[in-house]
Structure 1
């Protein structure tokens, strides 16, 4: 039964991941038909376009850029003098026919790099050089915020890296992180769109944030910003980090909050178009369909799961126990699906893991007193990364619990030491798939047989 459930969980996971493949999403949204470039519900006469430029950043950058060049084809690429630069993971760096793929960070880092900054400066040069009869296409996906750094004057990239690290370690949400990033940047928070002189700018977006907020995905370089310097100031004034925030960061944000620096744009012209091509909802729908085909009754909890990983884990484990022992709210076999992005705060010194591994370990700890016969929990990041580790996440079932017992591994102790990675390494519960080339947050799958 354990092996069957593991196989089922993997099939459900792969169905969700396949639904948000960047090439598949871009190809479904962009086409050339009868002399027109169709992007979503928008149509552009190709005869009226003199030049097409592509910019952007994110983990799906390479696949999306490849799709754009494939859709346009060699003839249009030459005719429209296609050019551009997209900041991508180091492993995806290179050059396509015309689009440069600029390696801007290693997979295990969530912090800005000088290489990313150089690429972003090139993007600014490109969008500023465009004219009314040109079209700009911006490709945005998870990781785009860290990969598109352009610090404001007076704030170094090292200072941005430090404040990002401090906030991450303090358990800041992606929305909080991006609020601060936007107010330290010359491109985020709508500022890239503000500087684009093309007749139209269309952003193709794969969402990695809860609720698909355009001002939060990749820190919203082409979207109206709903946050303010005052919001950013409240976030960096967190007592847990305040005395370690770089002075240049604090000075800039304080000046902005006092009205001495212009706010991020609160309106943009209708020529700025943002289209969300894929998100966690799409992935969960495909996972739900696959689970139903495998014979499970499905309880889809949606894509807005947030909060401390340990606390979310207890709730999910409790639902699994209710299904197993009381057949409520559904009769087994059941597949529970949950999407979103939890956080981990208060990491112990020397700890290693990620939010998904922490969630599964906390669920295992909660279930250990009841037994895991007939229950499997699987949680992983759709980008193939979970924190600063080489695992996408972890799974736990009766076989993992038995392996832990044989080795004397006590979940509670590993949780207290923030060592979820070590626990699952010893118990053989890691999910390791490598970078996936997409990112729509996390998918948690719980099977009750």
Structure 2
């Protein structure tokens, strides 16, 4: 494998990834789902007579909600009475009718608490002829945030941080989050009832489960306080979480606190939830782009999860098998999506995509004609400014010339600083969308 070949295929991988990002730009997805013709508003083919409405309020939370709100304003114009969205710091766009509050993610901050209080005030005492449009995307669990009774923000932050570093899946993490909140797990729908409610959702969870995305604020919650506590125990956190969190969950198990609303509750009778964007849309766009570029492209999976380092080994193994599989001519492009986890044991800086890419680089043999890319569609992998990374067998050669011990970086969960020195980072800036991660293997 020559350096020119290496550079060409690494650039090709990034070009395919960036094209996939364009396919899930929130504005495009909203325009496909919402339209207006005179006094008629259409949301996913449902017709709404605007002359019968009292108020229209737009609210939301998530990393992609600002461009979603921008599209809603352009479609609906002056018929919006008021609105408020909560986005991650640095993810705002200019809006006219809808207020924007920037807040902390993935660990919540005071802005998130204040923003959620203001959002709830906006929809307080809604009437049956009010229309509430809710915009939800990944990140909503940390941005739409309130405090359990007797708990302070620092204690909730500690709990969230422990969960994020434990290796728990997003479904498990959000099960706990839902039972530490009055707005998650259907709680927001409970507070908006009896107004008519439409939720437009960008999914960042494998399988698109409505109750897990952003902790399902407008969806019936099938989980319980007992489920939340079992997750705390599963990851050995019962003696690490703050006492106020421990006490709150135990009070819920004892029946001294109300459960999250369940399926069949009347509050969901006027709720419509629609997924308008997902990982599968991005992967199909990537497949089409790769095909246009001359690759034999195949989507191999939509549910990649588990430890990032283990997923990396499986990805390289699959790429090797494809390299000798005569049914997939070379050059080949294998595409998959999902969201891995990292059990943080070191003190370094990184994210699941960078960790996966670094682990994959360690698996590749000298001159092996394989390029591996792993990147998040939100443009921010962990607490870093990188979306992810792209690697091949030259990655380790370059690292060696710089005196970098890649195994040490991986053991210390310090993939970010490895790629800062060895090269390979994918930097997109905040994409203002979020439909999980894309993993790619090019074989030539």
TM, length-normalised to structure 1: 0.94
Q: Deviations over 1:148-183 (max 9, x none)?
A: 111222222222111010111111111111111110
Q: CA deviation at 1:35?
A: 2.1
The residue matched to 1:91 in structure 2 has which SS? coil
- Does structure 2 conserve the Cα–Cα contact (< 8 Å) formed by 1:190 and 1:225? yes
Of 370, 394, 399 in structure 2, the residue corresponding to residue 399 of structure 1 is: 394
1:226 aligns with 2:227: no
Q: Deviations over 1:318-337 (max 9, x none)?
A: 1112222x226623211011
Q: 2:403, 2:391 → 1: CA distance?
A: 16
Aligned residues: 437
Q: 2:425, 2:248 → 1: CA distance?
A: 42
Q: Deviations over 1:194-223 (max 9, x none)?
A: 111353100010011111111111111000
Q: 1:293, 1:72 → 2: CA distance?
A: 37
1:67 aligns with 2:98: no
What is the 5 A alignment of 1:259-338? Answer: 259-267=255-263, 268-324=267-323, 326-327=324-325, 330-338=328-336
The match for 2:47 is: 43
The match for 2:383 is: 388
In structure 2, the CA distance between the partners of 1:372 and 1:73, relative to structure 1 (3 Å rule), is farther
Q: CA deviation at 1:101?
A: 0.5
Q: 1:93, 1:341 → 2: CA distance?
A: 25
- Does structure 2 conserve the Cα–Cα contact (< 8 Å) formed by 1:86 and 1:99? yes
Q: CA deviation at 1:445?
A: 1.2
The match for 1:54 is: 58
Q: 2:24, 2:116 → 1: CA distance?
A: 26
In structure 2, the CA distance between the partners of 1:140 and 1:21, relative to structure 1 (3 Å rule), is same
The match for 2:181 is: 185
The match for 1:435 is: 430
1:167 aligns with 2:158: no
User: Please, which moves more after superposition, 265-274 or 22-31?
Assistant: 265-274
Q: Deviations over 1:56-98 (max 9, x none)?
A: 1011111011111100123x34xxxx20110012324577221
User: Please, which moves more after superposition, 389-398 or 285-294?
Assistant: 389-398
- Does structure 2 conserve the Cα–Cα contact (< 8 Å) formed by 1:30 and 1:38? yes
Q: Deviations over 1:100-132 (max 9, x none)?
A: 001112xxx411111111111112122223211
1:7 aligns with 2:2: no
The match for 1:363 is: 360
User: Please, which moves more after superposition, 167-176 or 334-343?
Assistant: 167-176
In structure 2, the CA distance between the partners of 1:372 and 1:436, relative to structure 1 (3 Å rule), is farther
1:375 aligns with 2:375: no
What is the 5 A alignment of 1:72-111? Answer: 72-74=76-78, 76-77=79-80, 82-93=81-92, 96-105=95-104, 109-111=105-107
Q: CA deviation at 1:31?
A: 0.4
The residue matched to 1:210 in structure 2 has which SS? coil
Q: 1:416, 1:273 → 2: CA distance?
A: 46
Q: 1:316, 1:84 → 2: CA distance?
A: 44
Q: CA deviation at 1:373?
A: 3.5
The residue matched to 2:76 in structure 1 has which SS? helix
User: Pairwise CA RMSD of aligned residues?
Assistant: 1.6
The match for 2:342 is: 344
- Does structure 2 conserve the Cα–Cα contact (< 8 Å) formed by 1:128 and 1:197? no
Q: 1:94, 1:22 → 2: CA distance?
A: 12
Of 213, 218, 232 in structure 2, the residue corresponding to residue 217 of structure 1 is: 213
- Does structure 1 conserve the Cα–Cα contact (< 8 Å) formed by 2:206 and 2:303? yes
Q: 1:39, 1:372 → 2: CA distance?
A: 52
The match for 1:22 is: 26
Q: CA deviation at 1:33?
A: 2.0
Q: 1:276, 1:4 → 2: CA distance?
A: 36
Extract unaligned runs of 5+ from structure 1.
none
- Does structure 2 conserve the Cα–Cα contact (< 8 Å) formed by 1:377 and 1:445? yes
Q: 2:200, 2:136 → 1: CA distance?
A: 6
Extract unaligned runs of 5+ from structure 2.
none
